[in-house]
Every structure is written in C-alpha cells, then in structure tokens.
Amino acid sequence: MSPADPHPDVRPDSVARRDWWKSAVVYQVYPRSFADSDGDGVGDLGGILDHLDHLELLGVDVVWLSPVYRSPMVDNGYDISDYHDVDPLFGTLEQLEELIAQLHARDMKLVMDLVVNHTSSAHAWFAESRSSTDNPKRDWYWWRSPRPGHEPGSPGSEPTNWGSAFSGPAWTYDDHTGEYYLHVFAPDQPDLNWENPEVRQAVYAMMRDWLDRGVDGFRMDVINVISKVVGPVGDDGRVTLPDGVLGGERDPRWPGVVDTVSFADTPAFVLNGPRVHEFLQEMHREVFTDRPPGLLIVGETPGCSVGEAVLYTDPSRGELDMVFQFEHVDLDSGPKGKWDVLRMTMLQLKQSLGRWQDGLAEVGWNSLYLGNHDQPRCVSRFGSDAPEHREQSAKALATVLHMHRGTPYVYQGDELGTSNAGFTRLEQLRDVESLNHYATAVARGEDPADVLRALAYKGRDNARVPMSWDASPGAGFTTGTPWLDLHPLSGSVNAAAQVEDPNSAFSHYRRLIALRHAEPCVAHGTFRMLLADHEQLYCFERSFGDTRLLVVANLSSAADVVPDLSELAAWSSAEPLIASVPGSSPPPPTRSPPGSPGSSVWPDRAVWEPLWAPSARPSRR
C-alpha cells in the first residue's frame, strides 16, 4: 500500500472506506429505454429487475437510475411532479423497493437521479405557488413582475433578458397572477428558489426519506445551477435579478443553446453561483453527515472548471464526492453552441482529459464518462462507428476511459459498442431539446437539412434508443411498439450475441471492470501522460507504491502507426494484461530497459491496444 493511503488496513473496495467509490464502476440505467416488462413499449422497473443478471455479470458496483418519479414527462422524467412516488409508467414504489433489495443482495448499490434545481410545473409546490401572490409557497419559486413600460406577456416584457437553455426566454408569463416565473430549462420546469430556507429544508427532508428507504445516494442534476446571482432588494421586497448583455459571444461553459441576439447568455447568472458551496455544505450536514459509510454523492456540474471541481469535491469541505463535468463533451461545439458542430481531434480529447487528471491529482475526484442520457453515443462521437472499426473503437475508448484516475460510468449499451441511430427524419425524434431547437433554428432561416444533420449527430435521442437485448423483432426490449424506434443494428449488435463471446465489447468491459476491482493502482495510482503530443496514440502510466501500469491505445483508423516508442522503452519486459484484439501483443522493444525488471513487488504490467490494428477515429464535421 502507498504510505499516503488513508485506510491502509481496509480493502480498497470496501464500503468501510469513505472513498469506496474510487474502486467502483457505475452503470447508468435510463429506465424508459432499458427493458419493457409489460408490452406498452416503454421501459420500466420490471424490465430492470428482469435484467439484473446482465449487470451482475458485467461486474458493476452501482446502478445510477435516471428519474422514475411521477412526472408529466415533458423532459422524460427530469420534470418531477412528486418526489416521493414512482410514476405508473415505470411501475410502483413496491417495485422500486424490490429493486433496491435485489441490488443489495447482489452487492450492488442504487443511486437515484435527483433534480432539485427545478420541479415540474405540475408539482403541488408550484400549484400552490402560482395560486396567488400571497400564498406561503409563492417565494418557493422565482416570481417577478413584468418589465416596467411593457405590455405584460409580450416579447420584451420579461423581468430579465435571460435565455433558456432549451430555446426562447427563461421566463414564462402567468395570466392568473400577472407575473413571470423563471425556468432556466423548459417552461414546464420552473426553478426552485434556493434562497428560501424553507425550500432547502423540504428538499433535504425528501432526500433523507429516500436514504431511509435504502437508496445509496444521489446523482444530482445541474446541481451547480441552484444558486443565482442576485442584486439588492427591490421595491417589492424581493431581491432583484440582473440583465445580461445582448449580442455578446456565447459562454462556452454552458451546454445549452441561447440565442444571444435575442437573449442574454445565462451562465454568468446561474453557474457556480455565489451561494452554491454554502448550499451544498448545508445539504451535506443535513442529509449525509451522520450516515454510515457507503453512500455516494455525485453532482452534475456543467461549466465547472478544474478549480471549481476541487472546491466541490475536497473531502474536507463536505460537499460532493465527485463532479460530472462537461469540458470534454463540449469540444465539438462551436461559437454558437452545441448544435454548431465542429471537428474534434483526439489530441484535443487527450489534452482535456489530461488537464483534469493533473488538476485533481492532489485533491478532488472526477466522474469518468464519454456518454450518458444527454450525449450522443461515444463510439460515434469520439471514435468510429464504421462497420470495420466500431467494435475495436468501442474497446479502445473503454480502455482509455477506465484506466484513468476517477470513477468510470458505463451508459447502458456502451458495453455493447452501441452507435448513434442514424436519424434521417424529424419524425424519428422525441427529445424536447432537439424539437425546440429545430423549430427555433428553422424559424430564423437555417437550412432544415443542416439542422437535422446536427440533431442526428449530437441529439440526446441517440442515447435513448431502446436497449438491444437480442435479435428478435422487438430486440428483446418490448413485445409492443417501442416509444422510440429500435436501433437499426439491433439484429447484430445486441447483448445475446456478446455475453458469451470472449472477444466481444461486453467481455472487454468485464475485464476492465475486474481489473479496477483487483488492482489498487487503477483506482488509487498517480497518472502521467506519455507521448502527450501524439495525434493518434493515447498513452499514459499509472503508479501506486511499487506497481506501475502502462496504457497504450491507437485511437485512429490508421493501420500503419509507427511511433517513436523510445519513451516507452522501459516497458519492454512488461506483462500484458489486456488487449482488445485477440492474439495481439506489445510491439517489440526499441531497446533494453534499464534496471532489473523483477525489482518490483509485482512486475510492471501494461494494458495494450494494438498499435497496428484500426481502432477509432475522432469525429469530424
């Protein structure tokens, strides 16, 4: 063990360690698209229960469950109308409790997705809040009067000129009380006013209730948006909110798209706000501090810098265990935002991930991911989904990701090498973000074909295509009509075809997960980038005590990569642990390594992706 290990007498993956999650792997289930048990075409809790063997065989430690709370489903469950119950679309509260028990029986944990920046406009809290200007819950949301001198409800009469991440203004007029309410996202997702201590206490009580039911933690959606920039108290006794600058450049930290000609860009007023650390520290004290070890607190933090991440995840501050940051998934976004798709190079990806490895080397922790329910499929975006490359590309990307320092996340289907769906028609899409953007972009004169092309590449529906379990007509997902079209490759790229195949993407993921569990160096070791400027090879070294691991991956489609391997020469006697191509082995050494190869407690070992076989190629515009 390393002398710096704070728990030298405790097994690295034991939940007796406060940092047990460093050795863990998280699997995200998007329930609507995972498995349908009742034939209505929508995935549900029964479907998840039916496929726990898949997750256990894969070897994951934690299941992150996207929202199953009651919801009108405007944003597929991220608009919650009742935090304490399960939506009938997904099943029952009893089934959720059974899922918790079944996962625990298999030594897995359940982390619930939680959205507390906003609720649904159908939530009982909002119904009370909008009922009258003097309702006790009026100040639970951000209500403000129309701009003086403007006709209420008309364009330009919004209290501020902020834009919504889902297109249009960030304010919606309510005829009943003659005021506007704030929604950083869709109009059906009004923002909670975290300045109000009653709101915070209600949220904390709800979180404690879920922990008491056996939930093992939370992944908190856009949690760094809860604190807004506020001004002095106005004439109406409420704090004021400032206007932004029109016509300015888009803030690259924001994953949403704001029309900065018509509206002010929102990030400066909502990201990493002035009281966000105060709120999270209070949450930690109120909800988690007196609980036994074994919980996980994850914060989705768009626009979070490395410096901010250190603050969020420094254990001594008592806020989050790890962040879910966005820098690397915004590399292919141009000046106009997400849908302004740019070419991305592997070198850019390497530099971004390397910067986070260096920045959190001493303090802090990061979530390792390339895809989730809000992103396109990683093999299509960061690799190559061409038939001749897709499988090896998926393996190479998984190797690089899982061998970094941080906690890896597997999004459902990534373990199969699932690619983008290849949407060609607007009618195939269901996502509110994509549909709103299409309407707005076409209305302002953009070519519909160009808009659809960007949606097909980066739209969230790519990740939400139903899981492919087998080659049957319903892909093993449903016996009915799926809510979103099945993947066109479901007949060949599916779980049944891979689980027993030792050379499949699924089996490769299993080996990577097992290695993290077995080798403390993967979870706790230091990170050093090698061949930092190479445009095709992604190489790095992990070290922990007397153990060293080398990772070499060819993230290009070139079959003839012949690099200068002098920087890797000391590894010529390394024992290969994992390779993505059957029968592949490390290339011959360029010179003999210095020193005795047998001097370590364990021989130096390497994780190889073959340097001569096609693997993956960065996405291009």
SS3 of 381-448: the string is HCCCCCCCCHHHHHHHHHHHHHCCCCEEEEECCHHHCCCCCCCCCHHHCCCHHHHHHHHHHHHCCCCH
Is a pLDDT exceeding 90 seen at residue 403?
yes
* pLDDT computed for residue 562 by the predictor: 64
Q: Which of 63-72, 153-162, 568-577 has the lowest mean pLDDT?
A: 568-577
* pLDDT computed for residue 620 by the predictor: 27
Question: Global pTM?
Answer: 0.90
When pLDDT is averaged across residues 11-30 and rounded to a whole number, the result is 79
CATH ID of 124-182, from 3.90.400.10, 3.30.1300.10, 3.20.20.70, 1.10.10.60: 3.90.400.10
* pLDDT computed for residue 261 by the predictor: 83
Q: How many residues are recorded in the chain?
A: 621
Q: Where are the domains of the chain?
A: 20-119+195-231+248-255+268-423+467-507, 124-182, 424-464, 526-608
Which residues have C-beta within 8 Å of that of residue 399, sequence separation ≥ 6?
508, 512, 551, 553, 578, 580, 607, 609
* pLDDT computed for residue 318 by the predictor: 97
Mean of all residue pLDDT scores within the chain: 89
Q: Which of 322-326, 417-421, 424-428, 563-567 has the lowest mean pLDDT?
A: 563-567
Q: How confident is the model at residue 85 (pLDDT cuts 50, 70, 90)?
A: very high
| Amino acid type, 376 | P
Strands 337-341, 333-334: parallel, antiparallel or unpaired by DSSP?
antiparallel
Q: Which of 192-196, 259-263, 306-310 has the lowest mean pLDDT?
A: 259-263
* pLDDT computed for residue 538 by the predictor: 93
Please report the beta strands in 281-354, taking only residues with DSSP state E, as ranges in sequence order.
296-300, 322-324, 333-334, 337-341
Q: Which residue has the higher pLDDT, 368 or 611?
A: 368
Is a pLDDT exceeding 60 seen at residue 487?
yes
- Contact (CB, 8 A) for 255 and 325: no
- Contact (CB, 8 A) for 84 and 67: no
Q: HSE on the CB side for 206, CA within 13 Å?
A: 17
Distance CA 190, CA 79 (A): 9
Q: Which of 364-368, 439-443, 447-451, 612-616 has the lowest mean pLDDT?
A: 612-616
- Contact (CB, 8 A) for 508 and 397: no
Nearest to 399 by CA among 373, 420, 379: 379
Active site residue 188: no
Is a pLDDT exceeding 80 seen at residue 2?
no
Is a pLDDT exceeding 60 seen at residue 540?
yes
* pLDDT computed for residue 298 by the predictor: 98
Is a pLDDT exceeding 80 seen at residue 296?
yes
Q: How confident is the model at residue 379 (pLDDT cuts 50, 70, 90)?
A: very high
* pLDDT computed for residue 514 by the predictor: 94
Phi then psi dihedrals of residue 465, to 5 deg: -60, 135
| Amino acid type, 517 | H
* Cβ burial, residue 262 (10 Å; 0-12/13-18/19+): middle
CA–CA distances in Å: residue 322 to residues 220, 299, 496, 523: 11, 7, 34, 14
Is a pLDDT exceeding 60 seen at residue 611?
no
Distance CA 571, CA 589 (A): 8
* pLDDT computed for residue 250 by the predictor: 75
When pLDDT is averaged across residues 261-275 and rounded to a whole number, the result is 91
Nearest to 66 by CA among 27, 93, 100, 38: 27
When pLDDT is averaged across residues 2-28 and rounded to a whole number, the result is 65
| Amino acid type, 287 | V
CA–CA distances in Å: residue 4 to residues 26, 404, 407, 524: 26, 19, 19, 10
Per-residue model confidence as pLDDT tens digits over 425-459: 999 999 988 999 999 999 999 999 999 999 999 99
From 300, 330, 604, 609, the catalytic residue: 300
* pLDDT computed for residue 621 by the predictor: 27
| Amino acid type, 148 | P
Question: Token match 């960061």: residue?
Answer: 382
* pLDDT computed for residue 600 by the predictor: 18
* Cβ atoms within 10 Å, residue 591: 10
Q: How confident is the model at residue 255 (pLDDT cuts 50, 70, 90)?
A: low
* pLDDT computed for residue 583 by the predictor: 55
* pLDDT computed for residue 618 by the predictor: 28
* pLDDT computed for residue 582 by the predictor: 66
When pLDDT is averaged across residues 212-219 and rounded to a whole number, the result is 98
When pLDDT is averaged across residues 75-95 and rounded to a whole number, the result is 97
Please report the beta strands in 511-589, taking only residues with DSSP state E, as ranges in sequence order.
526-530, 537-544, 547-554, 575-579
Per-residue model confidence as pLDDT tens digits over 312-330: 999 999 999 999 999 999 9
Question: Which residues pair with residue 114 across a beta bridge?
Answer: 220
Nearest to 393 by CA among 116, 614, 98: 614
The percent helix, strand, coil of the chain (3-state, each to 5) is 30, 15, 55
For domain 20-119+195-231+248-255+268-423+467-507, the CATH superfamily is: Glycosidases (3.20.20.80)
Active site residue 249: no
Is a pLDDT exceeding 90 seen at residue 584?
no
- Contact (CB, 8 A) for 438 and 451: yes
Is a pLDDT exceeding 60 seen at residue 587?
no
- Contact (CB, 8 A) for 448 and 474: no
DSSP assignment of 85-147, as one string?
EE-TTT--HHHHHHHHHHHHHTT-EEEEEE--SB--TTSHHHHHHHH-TT-TTGGGB-EEPPP
Is a pLDDT exceeding 90 seen at residue 461?
yes
Q: How confident is the model at residue 561 (pLDDT cuts 50, 70, 90)?
A: confident
* pLDDT computed for residue 6 by the predictor: 43
Question: Which residues pair with residue 220 across a beta bridge?
Answer: 114, 299
When pLDDT is averaged across residues 60-82 and rounded to a whole number, the result is 96
Per-residue model confidence as pLDDT tens digits over 103-137: 999 999 999 999 999 999 999 999 999 999 999 99
When pLDDT is averaged across residues 538-567 and rounded to a whole number, the result is 85
* pLDDT computed for residue 506 by the predictor: 97
From 221, 259, 265, 374, the catalytic residue: 221
* pLDDT computed for residue 68 by the predictor: 98
* pLDDT computed for residue 14 by the predictor: 53
Which helix or strand (DSSP H or E) is residue 533 part of? none
Distance CA 1, CA 618 (A): 38
Is a pLDDT exceeding 90 seen at residue 257?
no
* Cβ atoms within 10 Å, residue 380: 23
